[in-house]
Amino acid sequence: MNDIDLGDVRVFERAATLGALAAAARALHVGRSTATRQLSRLEETVGCRLIDRDARNFVLTAEGRAFLPHAKQLLESVGDAIAAVATAEGPVRGRIHVVAPTSFAMHRLVPLLPSLLVAHPQLQVALDLHAMPARLIAEEIDLAFRTGPIDAHSLVARKIGEESLVLVASPAYLDRHGRPTEPGQLAEHAFLDARSEGEGELRLSGAGGPVRVRCKSTLRSTDPLPLVELAEGGCGIARIPRDLAEDSLAAGRLEIVLPDLPHEPLVMFALYRPGRNDDPRVRAVLDAVLDAQKRRPSSPVRAVEPLEPIPSAPVSGIRCLTPMQAAR
Protein backbone atom coordinates (compact mmCIF):
# COMPACT_ATOMS: atom_id res chain seq x y z
CA MET A 1 0.00 0.00 0.00
CA ASN A 2 1.26 3.47 -0.86
CA ASP A 3 1.68 6.08 1.87
CA ILE A 4 -1.52 7.95 2.64
CA ASP A 5 -1.47 11.66 1.90
CA LEU A 6 -2.83 13.64 4.85
CA GLY A 7 -4.30 16.17 2.45
CA ASP A 8 -6.36 13.43 0.84
CA VAL A 9 -7.56 12.22 4.23
CA ARG A 10 -8.51 15.78 5.17
CA VAL A 11 -10.65 16.15 2.03
CA PHE A 12 -12.47 12.91 2.80
CA GLU A 13 -13.02 13.83 6.45
CA ARG A 14 -14.31 17.31 5.55
CA ALA A 15 -16.63 15.92 2.87
CA ALA A 16 -17.98 13.23 5.21
CA THR A 17 -18.50 15.72 8.06
CA LEU A 18 -20.02 18.51 5.97
CA GLY A 19 -22.06 16.16 3.77
CA ALA A 20 -20.80 17.36 0.38
CA LEU A 21 -17.55 17.40 -1.55
CA ALA A 22 -18.21 20.97 -2.69
CA ALA A 23 -18.54 22.08 0.95
CA ALA A 24 -15.26 20.35 1.77
CA ALA A 25 -13.54 22.13 -1.11
CA ARG A 26 -14.81 25.50 0.12
CA ALA A 27 -13.77 24.78 3.72
CA LEU A 28 -10.27 23.78 2.64
CA HIS A 29 -9.98 26.59 0.07
CA VAL A 30 -9.32 24.28 -2.87
CA GLY A 31 -11.10 23.82 -6.18
CA ARG A 32 -13.81 21.21 -6.61
CA SER A 33 -11.74 19.36 -9.21
CA THR A 34 -8.74 19.28 -6.88
CA ALA A 35 -10.86 17.85 -4.06
CA THR A 36 -12.26 15.20 -6.43
CA ARG A 37 -8.76 14.13 -7.49
CA GLN A 38 -7.62 13.93 -3.87
CA LEU A 39 -10.61 11.80 -2.90
CA SER A 40 -10.05 9.47 -5.87
CA ARG A 41 -6.36 9.16 -4.94
CA LEU A 42 -7.28 8.24 -1.36
CA GLU A 43 -9.69 5.57 -2.57
CA GLU A 44 -6.98 4.18 -4.83
CA THR A 45 -4.56 4.14 -1.89
CA VAL A 46 -6.91 2.27 0.48
CA GLY A 47 -8.14 0.01 -2.31
CA CYS A 48 -11.89 0.61 -2.07
CA ARG A 49 -14.62 3.15 -2.66
CA LEU A 50 -15.36 5.38 0.29
CA ILE A 51 -18.24 7.33 -1.25
CA ASP A 52 -21.18 5.98 -3.23
CA ARG A 53 -21.03 7.99 -6.44
CA ASP A 54 -24.22 6.40 -7.72
CA ALA A 55 -26.35 7.89 -4.96
CA ARG A 56 -28.16 11.16 -5.63
CA ASN A 57 -26.98 12.58 -2.32
CA PHE A 58 -23.58 12.33 -0.63
CA VAL A 59 -23.51 8.83 0.91
CA LEU A 60 -20.60 6.98 2.48
CA THR A 61 -20.09 3.34 1.60
CA ALA A 62 -19.73 0.78 4.38
CA GLU A 63 -15.97 1.07 3.93
CA GLY A 64 -16.22 4.86 4.14
CA ARG A 65 -18.19 4.70 7.39
CA ALA A 66 -15.58 2.35 8.83
CA PHE A 67 -12.71 4.56 7.68
CA LEU A 68 -14.15 7.89 8.91
CA PRO A 69 -13.45 7.58 12.68
CA HIS A 70 -9.88 6.53 11.93
CA ALA A 71 -9.47 9.48 9.58
CA LYS A 72 -10.65 11.84 12.30
CA GLN A 73 -8.32 10.25 14.83
CA LEU A 74 -5.40 10.49 12.43
CA LEU A 75 -5.96 14.20 11.76
CA GLU A 76 -6.47 14.92 15.46
CA SER A 77 -3.22 13.09 16.28
CA VAL A 78 -1.36 15.21 13.75
CA GLY A 79 -2.87 18.35 15.30
CA ASP A 80 -1.82 17.18 18.76
CA ALA A 81 1.68 16.49 17.50
CA ILE A 82 1.95 20.00 16.07
CA ALA A 83 0.65 21.44 19.35
CA ALA A 84 3.21 19.38 21.28
CA VAL A 85 6.02 20.84 19.19
CA ALA A 86 4.65 24.34 19.83
CA THR A 87 4.53 23.56 23.56
CA ALA A 88 8.23 22.78 23.71
CA GLU A 89 10.41 25.35 25.42
CA GLY A 90 11.22 28.34 23.30
CA PRO A 91 9.36 31.22 21.68
CA VAL A 92 5.68 30.98 20.80
CA ARG A 93 5.70 30.01 17.16
CA GLY A 94 3.57 28.46 14.47
CA ARG A 95 0.17 29.13 12.95
CA ILE A 96 -3.01 29.56 14.99
CA HIS A 97 -6.43 29.56 13.35
CA VAL A 98 -8.79 31.88 15.27
CA VAL A 99 -12.51 32.29 14.59
CA ALA A 100 -14.60 35.16 15.96
CA PRO A 101 -17.75 37.14 15.14
CA THR A 102 -16.97 40.29 13.18
CA SER A 103 -17.91 42.71 15.95
CA PHE A 104 -15.83 40.86 18.56
CA ALA A 105 -12.87 40.61 16.21
CA MET A 106 -12.92 44.27 15.22
CA HIS A 107 -13.32 45.57 18.78
CA ARG A 108 -11.47 42.94 20.81
CA LEU A 109 -8.94 41.07 18.64
CA VAL A 110 -7.71 43.31 15.84
CA PRO A 111 -6.62 46.18 18.14
CA LEU A 112 -4.37 43.86 20.16
CA LEU A 113 -2.84 41.91 17.26
CA PRO A 114 -0.01 44.40 16.53
CA SER A 115 1.39 44.17 20.08
CA LEU A 116 0.77 40.41 20.17
CA LEU A 117 2.76 39.85 16.99
CA VAL A 118 5.54 42.13 18.17
CA ALA A 119 5.77 40.10 21.40
CA HIS A 120 5.66 36.81 19.46
CA PRO A 121 7.24 37.45 16.04
CA GLN A 122 7.17 33.75 15.12
CA LEU A 123 3.41 33.48 15.68
CA GLN A 124 1.21 33.41 12.58
CA VAL A 125 -2.46 34.27 13.04
CA ALA A 126 -5.19 33.21 10.61
CA LEU A 127 -8.32 35.17 11.59
CA ASP A 128 -11.64 33.92 10.27
CA LEU A 129 -14.61 36.23 10.77
CA HIS A 130 -17.89 34.44 11.25
CA ALA A 131 -20.18 33.53 14.11
CA MET A 132 -21.44 30.03 13.35
CA PRO A 133 -20.49 27.63 16.17
CA ALA A 134 -21.43 24.56 14.13
CA ARG A 135 -18.28 25.10 12.05
CA LEU A 136 -15.89 25.14 15.00
CA ILE A 137 -15.31 21.40 14.99
CA ALA A 138 -16.01 20.82 11.32
CA GLU A 139 -12.99 22.93 10.42
CA GLU A 140 -9.50 22.78 11.87
CA ILE A 141 -9.73 25.68 14.27
CA ASP A 142 -7.42 26.20 17.23
CA LEU A 143 -9.35 28.88 19.10
CA ALA A 144 -12.77 30.44 18.71
CA PHE A 145 -14.56 33.30 20.42
CA ARG A 146 -18.30 33.22 20.74
CA THR A 147 -20.84 35.55 22.30
CA GLY A 148 -24.20 34.40 23.52
CA PRO A 149 -25.63 30.88 23.74
CA ILE A 150 -23.39 27.98 22.72
CA ASP A 151 -24.43 24.82 20.93
CA ALA A 152 -21.44 22.71 19.92
CA HIS A 153 -19.84 19.41 20.82
CA SER A 154 -16.47 18.17 22.07
CA LEU A 155 -15.18 21.65 22.93
CA VAL A 156 -14.06 23.33 26.11
CA ALA A 157 -15.93 26.60 26.76
CA ARG A 158 -14.16 29.14 28.96
CA LYS A 159 -16.12 32.17 30.02
CA ILE A 160 -14.00 35.28 29.51
CA GLY A 161 -16.39 38.12 30.29
CA GLU A 162 -19.79 39.74 29.88
CA GLU A 163 -21.05 42.68 27.84
CA SER A 164 -23.93 44.92 28.80
CA LEU A 165 -26.67 45.41 26.23
CA VAL A 166 -28.76 48.46 25.40
CA LEU A 167 -31.72 49.28 23.20
CA VAL A 168 -30.95 52.13 20.80
CA ALA A 169 -32.69 53.95 17.98
CA SER A 170 -32.14 57.07 15.94
CA PRO A 171 -33.80 60.28 17.13
CA ALA A 172 -35.56 60.51 13.75
CA TYR A 173 -37.09 57.05 14.16
CA LEU A 174 -38.28 57.83 17.68
CA ASP A 175 -39.73 61.15 16.55
CA ARG A 176 -41.75 59.33 13.88
CA HIS A 177 -42.85 56.29 15.88
CA GLY A 178 -42.76 57.48 19.48
CA ARG A 179 -40.52 56.64 22.42
CA PRO A 180 -41.51 53.50 24.34
CA THR A 181 -42.02 54.10 28.05
CA GLU A 182 -42.53 50.45 29.04
CA PRO A 183 -41.32 47.09 27.63
CA GLY A 184 -44.74 46.06 26.35
CA GLN A 185 -44.72 48.94 23.86
CA LEU A 186 -41.74 47.40 22.06
CA ALA A 187 -44.18 45.12 20.25
CA GLU A 188 -45.35 48.20 18.33
CA HIS A 189 -41.87 48.91 16.95
CA ALA A 190 -39.54 47.42 14.39
CA PHE A 191 -36.96 45.38 16.31
CA LEU A 192 -33.38 44.71 15.17
CA ASP A 193 -31.55 41.95 17.00
CA ALA A 194 -28.53 39.65 16.84
CA ARG A 195 -29.40 37.21 19.59
CA SER A 196 -31.04 33.86 19.04
CA GLU A 197 -33.22 33.02 22.03
CA GLY A 198 -36.40 33.28 20.01
CA GLU A 199 -37.94 34.96 17.02
CA GLY A 200 -39.16 38.39 18.06
CA GLU A 201 -38.39 37.78 21.70
CA LEU A 202 -36.56 40.03 24.18
CA ARG A 203 -35.21 38.40 27.33
CA LEU A 204 -34.85 40.61 30.40
CA SER A 205 -33.44 40.00 33.88
CA GLY A 206 -36.42 40.20 36.20
CA ALA A 207 -36.29 39.97 40.00
CA GLY A 208 -37.91 36.53 39.90
CA GLY A 209 -35.82 35.27 36.97
CA PRO A 210 -35.73 35.82 33.19
CA VAL A 211 -38.68 37.68 31.71
CA ARG A 212 -39.60 37.47 28.02
CA VAL A 213 -41.14 40.33 26.08
CA ARG A 214 -42.61 39.79 22.63
CA CYS A 215 -41.32 42.09 19.90
CA LYS A 216 -42.02 42.58 16.23
CA SER A 217 -38.78 41.21 14.77
CA THR A 218 -38.00 43.13 11.58
CA LEU A 219 -34.39 42.11 11.01
CA ARG A 220 -32.07 39.56 12.57
CA SER A 221 -28.33 39.40 12.06
CA THR A 222 -25.70 36.86 13.10
CA ASP A 223 -23.56 39.79 14.25
CA PRO A 224 -24.58 43.05 15.97
CA LEU A 225 -22.18 45.29 14.03
CA PRO A 226 -24.52 45.90 11.03
CA LEU A 227 -27.34 46.77 13.42
CA VAL A 228 -25.59 49.99 14.45
CA GLU A 229 -25.80 51.42 10.94
CA LEU A 230 -29.33 50.08 10.45
CA ALA A 231 -30.47 51.76 13.67
CA GLU A 232 -28.78 55.01 12.65
CA GLY A 233 -30.65 54.76 9.35
CA GLY A 234 -33.99 54.67 11.15
CA CYS A 235 -34.82 51.00 10.54
CA GLY A 236 -36.00 50.37 14.09
CA ILE A 237 -34.91 49.77 17.68
CA ALA A 238 -31.74 47.70 17.94
CA ARG A 239 -30.39 45.67 20.84
CA ILE A 240 -26.59 45.79 20.71
CA PRO A 241 -23.58 45.72 23.06
CA ARG A 242 -23.18 49.15 24.63
CA ASP A 243 -19.58 49.58 23.53
CA LEU A 244 -20.63 49.27 19.87
CA ALA A 245 -23.06 52.14 20.37
CA GLU A 246 -20.79 54.51 22.32
CA ASP A 247 -19.56 56.60 19.36
CA SER A 248 -23.06 56.90 17.87
CA LEU A 249 -24.55 57.83 21.24
CA ALA A 250 -21.89 60.49 21.84
CA ALA A 251 -22.47 61.96 18.36
CA GLY A 252 -26.26 62.02 18.81
CA ARG A 253 -26.89 59.57 15.96
CA LEU A 254 -28.49 57.15 18.42
CA GLU A 255 -30.17 57.42 21.79
CA ILE A 256 -30.91 54.79 24.41
CA VAL A 257 -34.45 53.46 24.63
CA LEU A 258 -35.76 52.38 28.04
CA PRO A 259 -32.38 52.99 29.74
CA ASP A 260 -33.44 51.29 32.99
CA LEU A 261 -34.40 48.04 31.28
CA PRO A 262 -32.48 45.13 32.96
CA HIS A 263 -31.08 43.15 30.03
CA GLU A 264 -29.44 39.81 30.54
CA PRO A 265 -25.73 40.33 29.79
CA LEU A 266 -24.12 38.95 26.66
CA VAL A 267 -21.67 36.31 27.84
CA MET A 268 -18.39 35.87 25.97
CA PHE A 269 -16.65 32.49 25.68
CA ALA A 270 -13.39 31.18 24.34
CA LEU A 271 -13.72 27.73 22.76
CA TYR A 272 -10.98 25.21 22.11
CA ARG A 273 -10.43 21.47 21.97
CA PRO A 274 -9.75 19.54 25.16
CA GLY A 275 -6.05 19.43 25.95
CA ARG A 276 -5.24 22.59 24.00
CA ASN A 277 -5.21 24.90 27.01
CA ASP A 278 -1.46 24.20 27.35
CA ASP A 279 -0.80 25.17 23.73
CA PRO A 280 1.32 28.36 23.98
CA ARG A 281 -0.32 29.77 20.85
CA VAL A 282 -3.79 29.46 22.42
CA ARG A 283 -2.60 30.83 25.75
CA ALA A 284 -0.84 33.78 24.09
CA VAL A 285 -4.02 34.92 22.33
CA LEU A 286 -6.25 34.24 25.34
CA ASP A 287 -3.93 36.10 27.71
CA ALA A 288 -3.81 39.06 25.32
CA VAL A 289 -7.63 39.26 25.18
CA LEU A 290 -8.00 39.05 28.97
CA ASP A 291 -5.23 41.59 29.58
CA ALA A 292 -6.79 44.02 27.09
CA GLN A 293 -10.18 43.77 28.82
CA LYS A 294 -8.66 44.43 32.24
CA ARG A 295 -6.94 47.55 30.87
CA ARG A 296 -10.32 49.03 29.86
CA PRO A 297 -11.65 50.39 33.18
CA SER A 298 -14.28 52.51 31.47
CA SER A 299 -15.45 49.65 29.28
CA PRO A 300 -18.89 48.15 29.88
CA VAL A 301 -17.28 44.75 29.38
CA ARG A 302 -16.80 42.95 32.69
CA ALA A 303 -13.65 40.89 32.38
CA VAL A 304 -13.25 37.65 34.26
CA GLU A 305 -10.25 37.58 36.56
CA PRO A 306 -7.94 34.55 36.09
CA LEU A 307 -8.87 32.97 39.45
CA GLU A 308 -12.50 34.08 39.76
CA PRO A 309 -14.85 31.09 40.01
CA ILE A 310 -17.48 31.20 37.29
CA PRO A 311 -20.88 29.62 37.73
CA SER A 312 -22.03 28.25 34.42
CA ALA A 313 -25.05 26.23 33.44
CA PRO A 314 -24.14 22.88 31.86
CA VAL A 315 -24.30 22.97 28.09
CA SER A 316 -24.83 19.74 26.20
CA GLY A 317 -21.60 18.44 24.71
CA ILE A 318 -19.42 21.24 26.13
CA ARG A 319 -17.11 21.28 29.10
CA CYS A 320 -17.56 24.66 30.80
CA LEU A 321 -14.46 25.58 32.78
CA THR A 322 -13.69 28.22 35.32
CA PRO A 323 -10.42 30.05 34.62
CA MET A 324 -8.83 28.15 37.53
CA GLN A 325 -9.79 24.84 35.92
CA ALA A 326 -8.69 26.05 32.49
CA ALA A 327 -5.25 26.89 33.85
CA ARG A 328 -4.64 23.35 35.11
Q: pLDDT by residue (tens digit) across 213-259?
A: 777 767 878 788 899 999 999 999 999 999 899 999 999 999 999 99
User: What pLDDT, on a 0 to 100 scale, did the predictor assign at position 320?
Assistant: 38
Overall average pLDDT of the 278-300 stretch: 77
pLDDT band at 174 (very low <50, low <70, confident <90, very high): very high
- pLDDT tens readout for residues 113-133: 999 999 999 999 999 887 555
Instruction: Give the Cα separation of 326 and 308 in Å (integer).
Output: 11
DSSP assignment letter at 40: H
pLDDT band at 53 (very low <50, low <70, confident <90, very high): confident
- Looking at the fold, whether 117 and 249 belong to one and the same domain comes out as no
User: What pLDDT, on a 0 to 100 scale, did the predictor assign at position 250?
Assistant: 95
**Is 1 within a domain?**
no
User: What pLDDT, on a 0 to 100 scale, did the predictor assign at position 164?
Assistant: 87
- Looking at the fold, whether 142 and 290 belong to one and the same domain comes out as yes
Last residue of a domain, one of 257, 288, 306: 257
Instruction: Give the Cα separation of 305 and 270 in Å (integer).
Output: 14
- Looking at the fold, whether 159 and 270 belong to one and the same domain comes out as yes
**Is 107 within a domain?**
yes
Q: By residue range, what is the domain housing residue 272? A: 89-163+266-326
Last residue of a domain, one of 25, 57, 84: 84
Instruction: Give the Cα separation of 171 and 226 in Å (integer).
Output: 18
Q: How many domains does the chain have?
A: 3
Mean of all residue pLDDT scores within the chain = 78
Instruction: Give the Cα separation of 113 and 125 in Å (integer).
Output: 9
Quote the distance between the C-alpha of residue 16 and its chain's center.
Answer: 22
Residue 73 clears pLDDT 70, i.e. is over it: yes
Q: Model pTM?
A: 0.62
| pLDDT > 70: percent of the chain | 74
- Looking at the fold, whether 271 and 157 belong to one and the same domain comes out as yes
Give strand ranges (E) for the chain.
94-100, 123-129, 143-147, 155-163, 165-169, 190-193, 201-206, 209-214, 216-220, 237-241, 255-257, 266-272, 302-303, 318-321
Overall average pLDDT of the 271-282 stretch: 79
Task: Of 32, 14, 27, 20, give the one whose Cα is nearest residue 68.
Answer: 14
